[in-house]
Structure 1
Amino acid sequence: MSQKDFTPESRKAFLEMLDVLKESVELTSNSALDENDSAEGYRFMTHFIRTALEQFFENDPERPRFVPMITPKMAQPWAAYSAPMEIWSPNPYTIYDWAPLAPGRSYRITGKRGSVRYLGICLYSGTGWNGLMPPRIGDWVNMTNLVCEEDGSFEIIIGTRRPVGAKNFLEADPDLHSVLIRQFFVDAKNEEPARYMIDVIDHPGPAPRLDDAAVAHRLRSVVAFLKETGIDFMKQYGGRPSPIIPHVPNQFDLAGLDVKRSDAGRAVRGGTGFMYINPDHWYLFCNFDLKPGEALLIDLKPPKCLWWGLYGTNRYMQTYEYADGGRNLVDIGNAVIDDDGIARIVVSAEDPGIANWICTQGHLTGTLCIRWTITGIDPSDESAVPKPATRVVPFAEAGKRLTGK
């Protein structure tokens, strides 16, 4: 059969993917603030392409495997995570692993707990395996209620009914979509990351050949992912105001995660799955907007919690460089807290000479994000969530904020 005798559906889908990539080039070029901002936009799209291919082309909910959704800018000893891949304002020094799941299937996750400070496993529901973002949060477990053996090993069953004797069980919604595992580090060089794998309990058998229809479906899932979470994201976030970022510059506020449920800052089961929100976090954002020679001062009093951190991102919600000595994270592990319980932080392009410094790497505008993790604050009590005080000053004043007990 010659090429003239057929027109593969996969070819049409591949061309659709190229059209989306061309649209992303035009969007980035037209919205860029300058040539460096444009370059960051192109890097942003390469990360989305890699994520889309890993999740929706080279994966299968009938035979899933964990793949990196986001890989941090970490050096050795995590060789497998050495190439950064960042989308949606990822937390520095965090590993995010994702696997697609199919409604009606049962799964088993087995692994070792390690010593990482925070380990969370969360299900997401809705839309099916088509590249679209899951609309809802499902069941979840974290290291506070994960049952492990003496050697740190664990097993989690995912399904519609809890098997007899199951120590860890996550209830699957009828429209199960995926599972995401997060690991938050405090001492990335010395903590042992968790290790895990996923298997289908009612395994369907060997994978069939990827035919034209299957490849076309996977490519169109990639297209849907790139459009919704890449193109549409840039259209919404690239212009201000963003739907999730507070509008008043240089002030922190709770992220607007779910206007339908009136939940702000923190997600709950059945609430939005937008950007794979974590139900163990409170999220706060700040759009900083500085002039040359200015700095943003932040007075942050952390609540009692398992983990917290503050970091900066560019306009595309990708973090500033922090590997190999970069300064883009003040967290529970490295913050200098004064005797009054406040971490006094400087956000600036130049080094103010204090420990609590977020380096903007020359960006005059960007986003700051805070996560309070497992605080014990009730999801309905937004007033109890601490919001840092901020003010803009000439950079010369920033160095006067000496911190230390």
Structure 2
Amino acid sequence: MDRRHFIGSLGTLGAAALAPATVGAQTAPAALQTQSRVAFGELIALLQQLDHDYLSPARRIAGVTDISDGHRQILHHLHVALSLIAEADPDRPAFRRTADMVTKFLGDNPDALYYTAFIDPARTYRISGNVGGADFTSFSFERAGVDGVPSKGVALVVDDRAMKISRDGDFEFLVGPDQKFKLEPGVGMIQTRHFFERAKPICADPVKQIPLRIEAVEPASPRPAPDDAWIAASIRRVITFLRETTIGMPMMQPDKIPAWVSIIPNRFNPAQIPAGDIGFANRSSAYSMAPYALAPDQALVIEGRFPKCRFANVVLWNRFLQTYDYETHTISRNGKSTKLLPDGRFRMVLAHRDPGVPNWIDTQGRPTGMVYWRFVLPEETVAPLEARVLPFADLKALG
């Protein structure tokens, strides 16, 4: 008997052993309708709805790439919901990695590590850890909770300028309704950010972690074993999160588009710090985003100047705000991975294949996508991003 069969037989043995002791509770038809079974059916129905209605021409999703990318997004968001929300406990919170090389979620960043924890705004928590060599560290307290409904905005930001950090990088601070860093009603989630300007993306390092700890100052009593109602509620939190981060996301209306977001391909609007009512937005960063559109024999050349700031980078996303493969391709650049021109400006080149010039950003052959810029704590106005489309053959002349 191999290990797989042995483990499986243990489960069968366990069921047989438990049956006599609980016969009164377990005697029922084979198709017993537990609360968890009803909730599980709702999850299956949502997945079917997403396939039929979310990945549909009504949402401008029709091509093979869009549909398959959409299925990948659904799987990734389901993974996030299961790992972060399904069994989150605000009485005993823990920081868990939000995105990585194989979990791409709501605008992930190759040059940053993100962690999420769920809290109760009525409680006081001690947050401690080490900055781990990051160029910028922050904790955003979001108007969101463990119910799975996405953030409605950022209520409080604590970044490394407000934290007491030792020479070794250690820190500790308190948050709560009566603390210096005050928790307001409705604040139920923490999103951390740890930015690294390195020659290679920090997220491509599979062992890099930020040591973080969060604990309630007043410990909670031991929690009971999961029962049918609790597990059903857990499944429904997953359903809510998955629905709200996919088909529940409204189609952007022209009058609701932030000024820093361009809807014109290959043209960027001035970078700006986003409004606080945008969930998951980094209130310490100026952003600029635009779609790109390139034919097979074209490239997009973007020139500008990094402002004096704590961190800056550019990254490519698909239409579902998921990064391209940064483990085996160069799909982003930051201040350390960019070769500057003699006058201190940068010149980025988006192309479907290697043009043989500095600062190539690999589109991986995708004719369209999103180009996203961020500048953390800029100390000056971000210079305009100048973009132009050139024939691929003309790129060599750039030098």
TM-score (norm 1): 0.83
**Could you tell me how far apart the structure 2 residues matched to 1:52 and 1:247 are?**
30
**Paired residues of 1:115 and 1:192 also in contact (CA < 8 A):** no
SS at match of 1:400: helix
In the other structure, the counterpart of 1:287 is 291
SS state of the match for residue 230, structure 1? coil
Alignment correspondent of 1:149 = 166
Partner residue of 1:299 out of 297, 303, 324: 303
Once residues 270 and 42 of structure 2 are traced to their aligned partners in structure 1, the CA distance between those partners, rounded to angstroms, is: 37
Q: Which amino acid aligns with 1:38?
A: I
User: Aligned partners of 2:134, 2:317: CA distance in 1, in Å?
Assistant: 24
**2:66 equivalent among 37, 44, 66:** 37
Aligned equivalents of 2:81, 2:255: Cα separation in 1:
26
Q: Aligned to 2:113, what secondary structure does the other structure show?
A: strand
Alignment of 1:1-400 (within 5 A): 1-3=27-29, 7-26=33-52, 27-28=54-55, 30=57, 32-71=61-100, 73=101, 84-126=102-144, 128-162=145-179, 169-187=180-198, 188=202, 194-233=210-249, 236=251, 243=257, 245-253=261-269, 265-267=272-274, 271-274=276-279, 276-324=280-328, 326-376=329-379, 384-400=381-397
Distance 1:240 1:94 in 2: 30
CA distance in 2, matches of 1:143, 1:32: 41
| C-alpha contact (below 8 Å) 2:270/2:385 kept by paired residues | no
* Separation in 2, partners of 1:208, 1:93: 40
- Measure the CA separation in 2 of the matches of 1:336 and 1:161: 48
Query: Cα 1:294–1:400, aligned 2, differ >3 Å: closer, same or farther?
Result: same
**Are the aligned partners of 1:114 and 1:192 in contact in 2 as well (CA < 8 Å)?**
no
Whether the aligned pair in 2 keeps the contact of 1:113 and 1:193 (CA below 8 Å) is no
- CA deviations on 1:333-387 (whole Å, 9 max, x unpaired) are 111111222111111101111221111111111100000001135xxxxxx3433
* Number of equivalences: 362
> For the residues of structure 2 that align with 1:398 and 1:114, how far apart are their CA atoms?
39
Q: Secondary structure at the match of 2:370?
A: strand
Amino acid at match of 1:266: I
Q: CA deviation at 1:39?
A: 2.3
What is the aligned-residue RMSD (CA, Å)?
A: 2.5
Deviations 1:265-285 (A, max 9, x none): 3235xx2142x1111111110
- CA–CA separation in structure 2 for the residues paired with 1:400 and 1:240: 39
Q: Distance in 2 between matches of 1:148 and 1:18?
A: 47
Greater C-alpha radius of gyration: 2
Q: Tell me whether 21-30 or 10-19 shows the greater mean CA deviation.
A: 21-30
8 Å CA contact 2:300, 2:389 repeated in 1: yes
The amino acid across from 1:86 in the alignment is: K
Mark the CA change 1:369 to 1:242 in structure 2 (over 3 Å): closer, same or farther. farther
Match of 1:258 in 2: none
Q: What one-letter code is carried by the residue in structure 1 that aligns with 2:106?
A: W
Q: Which amino acid aligns with 1:230?
A: T
CA contact (8 A) 1:111 1:195 kept: yes
| Whole-angstrom CA distance in 2 between matches of 1:194 and 1:142 | 15
Closer, same or farther: CA 297–242 of 1 in aligned 2, 3 Å: farther
The runs of 5 or more residues in structure 1 that have no matched partner are 74-83, 163-168, 256-264, 378-383
- Secondary structure class of the residue paired with 1:253: coil
In structure 2, distance between residues paired with 1:200 and 1:5: 41
Instruction: After TM superposition, give the deviation of residue 253 of structure 1 in Å.
Output: 2.1
| In 2, Cα distance between equivalents of 1:146 and 1:54 | 29
* Deviation, structure 1 residue 231: 2.2
Q: Structure 1: how far apart are the matches of 2:153 and 2:223?
A: 29
